[in-house]
């Protein structure tokens, strides 16, 4: 605010302390700090450096996130991933529900869920190895929609919403005793439609995968892609998403 305004000419005069404050505001706004943080830095000058450090950390985080997003977008456009149909043999699988994941209603919740699911998958593999079970390939995650009870918990928002699984060597009856929260399953041989998306898993990519699999689904009228059983295998260079191709019941 000016110290004085000439009513006749509109000329504004500023006191020296106002100029000093204006210059500090300009310095801080040039860093990209929000108006709220700028005001706090001016009102609490002893906290200004700490606020700048915090802002710098946030800028670095955003830059890394943007760089990752740019790299992922470039990889997708360069690779032009397309769904492919493949046959999967019968497999013994060990599953564990993943409690505590948020619904994934926005990007922040999605990223938080990703952290929890990845940790749960790594813990599942470690548990099986300590029990002497040989894991075949990488673990994957799928929506917890395999039983009526799981369906109900997903629909009413109580969860768990996800299950982590991994294929293992041997048949169910030959596996050693496992913790009670692990479920041994037999997946019958089946065909599935798969698509590999480079880069990290995001909400936008998940939705893109669903749409591409639907678009590439068999159209003979007798089969359909069961997206309720969509599974995702997170790899270092991207995510392999697969959904079984099933025959419609009579």
- What pLDDT does 221 receive? 67
pLDDT at 165: 97
Per-residue pLDDT, 131: 95
Name the DSSP class of 175.
S
Query: Residue 160: is the preceding peptide bond cis (ω within 30°)?
Result: yes
Q: Residue 27: pLDDT above 80? A: yes
Strands (E) in the chain, as ranges, are 4-5, 12-13, 84-88, 91-98, 135-143, 162-168, 183-187, 190-198, 223-225, 231-235, 238-247
pLDDT per residue as tens digits for the range 134-161:
999 999 999 998 888 988 988 888 889 9
pLDDT at 3: 74
Higher per-residue confidence, 74 vs 37: 37
Sign of CA dihedral 225, 227, 229, 235: positive
Q: Are 241 and 197 in contact (CB under 8 A)?
A: yes
Which tens digits make up the pLDDT trace of 181-238? 999 999 999 999 999 988 888 888 888 888 888 888 765 667 888 888 999 998 888 8
pLDDT at site 78: 75
CA separation for the pair 29, 15 (Å, rounded): 21
Q: What is the mean pLDDT of residues 25-48?
A: 92
Full-model pTM:
0.70
First vs last C-alpha separation in the chain: 77
């Amino acid at each position: 605010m000016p110290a004085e305004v000439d009513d006749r000419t509109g000329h504004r005069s500023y006191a020296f302390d106002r100029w000093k404050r204006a210059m500090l505001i300009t310095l801080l706004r040039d860093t990209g700090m929000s108006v709220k943080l700028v005001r706090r830095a001016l009102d609490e000058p002893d906290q200004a450096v700490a606020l700048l450090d915090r802002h710098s950390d946030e800028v670095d985080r955003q830059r890394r996130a943007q760089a990752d997003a740019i790299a992922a977008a470039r990889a997708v456009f360069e690779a032009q991933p397309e769904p492919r149909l493949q046959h999967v043999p019968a497999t013994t699988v060990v599953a564990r529900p993943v409690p505590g994941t948020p619904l994934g209603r926005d990007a922040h919740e999605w990223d938080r869920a990703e952290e929890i699911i990845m940790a749960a998958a790594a813990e599942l593999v470690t548990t099986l190895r300590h029990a002497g079970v040989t894991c075949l390939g990488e673990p994957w995650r799928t929506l917890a929609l395999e039983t009526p009870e799981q369906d109900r918990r997903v629909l009413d928002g109580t969860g768990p919403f996800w299950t982590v699984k991994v294929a293992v060597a041997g048949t169910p009856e030959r596996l050693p005793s496992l913790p009670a929260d692990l479920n041994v399953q037999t997946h019958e041989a089946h065909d599935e439609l798969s698509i590999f998306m480079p880069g990290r898993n995001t909400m936008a990519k998940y939705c893109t995968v669903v749409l591409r699999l639907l678009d590439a689904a068999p159209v003979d009228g007798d089969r359909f892609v069961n997206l309720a059983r969509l599974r995702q295998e997170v790899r270092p260079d991207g995510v392999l998403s697969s959904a079984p191709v099933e025959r419609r019941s009579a």
